């Protein structure tokens, strides 16, 4: 595996494996043509590390993200999350794991414009049947954590792009997930705002020990991570 390492933080030195992909293939059939998005991908994510997965368009990084995030299952291969094989689970079982184990941060924020920032953050907790008082307290604490305590009653249309992404980060943390999965989190932000968001994610990892997997095509964004792996043609390799 070709990769680049920064000096490891105390959290990432534990070497406790959270996620492991072994010989993972994903093949799509388009008419008579088979397209191999992943070709025997092997990847390990350690507890408490900040990992960047880099690659150009078509490299398979989005498909790899779907596998790590339990959004899809492989054509063949094994994926273990905290020791449990999730590769052939049903959609309902995967949905339960996503709800409890994975926090998502997307490029397009995916906030609901009719809800306030606080209501957006409480939404995942409603689906997990957390009592109202508890979820509202948790949402307020998380919005304070991302420096939005004074904006919690504002709707997304009343917030800047950077503020919306910080609401999305707070929402991703709502259920105290095992892993935060960030898919091009600065893609819709200007460079200055994007840098602020990445500095916050780095701080979250450094101070809280949060495991973060970042998917990006941008070397500057990837440089915030402890470890960088590069995907090309559905497998690890190439220049990093």
Separation CA 56–CA 217 (nearest Å): 6
Separation CA 8–CA 209 (nearest Å): 12
Query: Dihedral sign, CA of 134, 172, 68, 29?
Result: positive
- Cα Rg of the chain, angstroms: 18
The pLDDT assigned to 2 comes to 54
Separation CA 94–CA 88 (nearest Å): 9
Separation CA 71–CA 73 (nearest Å): 7
Name 72's Cβ contacts closer than 8 Å, sequence gap at least 6.
Answer: 26, 63, 66
Query: Span 3-9+48-62+90-236: which CATH code?
Result: 3.40.50.300
The pLDDT assigned to 238 comes to 41
Distances (CA, A) of 30 to 6, 33, 230: 40, 5, 26
The predicted model scores a pTM of 0.84
- pLDDT tens string, the chain, 240 residues long: the values are 456 655 444 444 457 999 999 999 999 998 889 989 999 999 999 999 999 999 888 889 989 999 999 888 899 999 999 888 888 788 888 888 888 889 999 888 899 999 999 999 999 999 888 999 999 999 999 999 899 999 999 999 999 999 999 999 999 999 989 899 999 888 888 888 888 889 889 988 988 888 999 999 889 999 999 999 999 888 887 433
Q: State which H helix or E strand residue 222 sits in.
A: helix 219-222
- For residue 109, is it left (φ>0), alpha (ψ between -120 and 50) or beta? left
Separation CA 137–CA 118 (nearest Å): 10
The pLDDT assigned to 6 comes to 58
Map residue 128 onto helix, strand or coil. Answer: coil
| Eight-class DSSP state of 7 | P
Take residue 170 and report the two structure tokens written for it. 């707070």
Domain positions in the chain are 3-9+48-62+90-236
């Amino acid at each position: 595996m070709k990769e680049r390492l920064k000096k490891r933080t105390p959290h990432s030195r534990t070497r406790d494996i959270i996620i492991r992909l072994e010989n993972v293939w994903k093949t799509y059939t388009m008419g008579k043509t088979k397209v191999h998005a992943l070709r025997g991908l092997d990847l390990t994510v350690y507890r408490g590390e900040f990992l960047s997965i880099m690659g150009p368009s078509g490299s398979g990084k989005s498909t790899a993200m779907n596998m790590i995030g339990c959004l899809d299952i492989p054509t063949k291969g094994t994926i273990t999350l905290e020791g449990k094989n999730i590769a052939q689970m049903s959609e309902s079982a995967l949905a339960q794991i996503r709800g409890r184990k994975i926090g998502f941060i997307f490029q397009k924020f995916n906030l609901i414009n009719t809800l306030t920032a606080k209501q957006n953050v409480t939404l995942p907790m409603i689906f997990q049947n957390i009592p109202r008082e508890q979820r509202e307290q948790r949402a307020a604490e998380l919005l304070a954590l991302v420096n939005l305590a004074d904006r919690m009653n504002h709707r997304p249309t009343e917030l800047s792009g950077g503020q919306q992404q910080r609401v999305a980060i707070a929402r991703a943390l709502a259920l105290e997930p095992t892993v935060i999965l960030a898919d091009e989190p600065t893609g819709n932000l200007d460079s200055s705002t994007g840098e602020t968001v990445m500095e916050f994610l780095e701080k979250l990892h450094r101070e809280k020990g949060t495991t973060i997997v970042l998917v990006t095509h941008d070397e500057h964004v990837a440089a915030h991570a402890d470890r960088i792996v590069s995907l090309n043609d559905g497998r690890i390799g190439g220049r990093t």
